[in-house]
Structure 1
Amino acid sequence: MSTVDLSPTARTRLGRARERGRLDRPALYEVLDAGMICHLGVVADGAPMVIPTGYGRHGDTLYVHGSTGAKSLRIAEAGEICVTVTHLDGIVLARSIFHHSVNYRSAMIYAVPRPVEDPEEKLTALRAVSERLAPGQWDVARRPTRRELAATAVLALSLEEASVKIRQGPPNDDEEDYAMDVWAGVLPVRQTFGEPVPDARLHEGTPVPDHIRHRR
């Protein structure tokens, strides 16, 4: 993995709230590695299209995947795309409506995707996607067959052109509003896993694997 700081471009350089920007590459990795779904933006027939997509990171490459018949991936193969990942960490409640905000971590990546054709790299990419959603599942589930791999499109994106923006902390009210008797603060937002629900056709007595049970 690269240790070189991010180098802002005309597209990734922040225009507002620049103090929230992060140029250290580990901050980019942390945002990506904490997420499970990205939003892939393409232009389809002259109109924008944004698709929620599973992804995985391996080193300095971000992989997205889907069906070879997916319109969004076919379009993505033909040109540049934008991928974003966002985490909502809290609702920031201020004394004035104007200063309400959210605490968040976000990353935006611009790249010309590279179709992954090499079978070994495709397996590496699919493992990265699988492990992002369910760490440990790759080692217990059946691996993709040759036919399944042929039906799966995988795109590789460089993380060279990216930006990271993070907002944390309390509300920033106007000084005169601090005298108001209005509650202000942060309502944290957390994503949690629930109790695993077994498939109806699961063999009786099959236990929940540790790597699933421990995520609760």
Structure 2
Amino acid sequence: MVGKLSPDEIERVLANEMIAHLGCHAGGRTYVVPITYAYEDSYIYGHTSEGLKLAMMRENPEVCVEVEKIEGPANWRSVIAWGTFEELTGPDAAHALQVLLERYFTRQANSTPRGPLGPHRQGAVHPDAHLYRIHLTEKTGRFEDGERKRPRPTLVR
């Protein structure tokens, strides 16, 4: 069965996952790249170094984020959200770093030593990283649940 996620289900996907695909558009080009993130109060928090993604978000702060939880080809959840990028400094950057580190190390504590954050154990965020947040202003979600049986199509002869 394919369907729409409720607002609560959308929030759950955003809060529980930590890998997203970020879509940026500037200068006539579209760029989609995976990111690690932490979610808090309608904000996606992330970190990055100088590069194409940061340059594009500075030029055009309107972005799109896709987050998914895939358990199989017919069992998944997907959230698409639109929002506005903001580069952070001072107390806002310190808060972002705290949110990211809490999320990374909470996830690491609940995974195996070679789990999803293996290389990040010593330094989850590079000291020269640019911290940012994306204020999500619109969210939508879909799912497919292969556990629920679909009606079989009737063959017409």
TM category, shorter: 0.7 to 0.9
- Within the alignment, does 1:86 sit opposite 2:68 as a pair? yes
Q: Quick check: 1:50 aligned with 2:32?
A: yes
Q: Indicate the SS of the match to 2:59.
A: coil
Shift of 1:173: 5.5
What is the SS of the residue equivalent to 1:135? helix
1:175 aligns with 2:147: no
Deviation at 1:116, TM superposition (A): 1.1
Unpaired segments ≥5 residues, structure 2: 109-120
Q: Give the letter aligned to residue 73 of structure 1.
A: L
1:135-186 residue CA offsets vs partner (Å, 9 max, x unmatched): 187xx968979xx2xx321222122211121221345363347xxxxxxxxx
Report the residue type matching 2:16 in the other structure: A
Q: Is it true that 1:37 corresponds to 2:19 in the alignment?
A: yes
Distance 1:144 1:112, change over 3 A: closer
Contact 1:65 1:155 in 2 (8 A): yes
How has the CA–CA distance of structure 1 residues 29 and 71 changed in structure 2, closer, same or farther, with 3 Å as cutoff? same
1:28 CA drift (Å): 2.1
Distance of 1:45 and 1:162 partners within structure 2:
25
TM-score by length of 1: 0.56
- SS of match in other structure, 1:27: helix
Equivalent residue letter for 1:21: K
| Aligned-pair Cα RMSD in Å | 2.8
Check whether the contact 1:63–1:155 (CA below 8 A) recurs between aligned residues: yes
User: Residues 155-170 of structure 1 correspond to what in structure 2 (within 5 A)?
Assistant: 155-168=132-145, 169-170=147-148
Partners of 1:173 and 1:136 in 2: CA distance: 39
Contact 1:109 1:162 in 2 (8 A): yes
Residue of structure 1 equivalent to 2:117: none
Question: Does the residue aligned with 1:112 lie in a helix, a strand or coil?
Answer: strand
Distance 2:125 2:70 in 1: 33
Of the three residues 73, 76, 79, the one matched with 2:54 is 73
Distance 2:59 2:143 in 1: 31
**1:51 positional shift:** 0.7
2:66 aligned with 1:123: no
TM-score in terms of structure 2 length: 0.74
**SS of the residue 1:77 aligns to:** helix
Q: Give yes or no for contact 1:21–1:166 (8 Å, CA) kept in 2.
A: yes
- In our comparison, the structure showing a higher alpha carbon Rg is 1
Q: Does 1:64 align with 2:46?
A: yes
- Asked whether the equivalents of residues 69 and 78 of structure 2 are also in contact (C-alpha less than 8 Å), the reply is yes
Unaligned runs of 5+ in 1: 1-16, 92-101, 178-216
Q: Partners of 1:170 and 1:125 in 2: how far apart?
A: 39
Aligned pairs, how many?
A: 141
For 2:102 and 2:137, how far apart are their aligned partners in 1? 23
| Matched-pair identity in % | 22
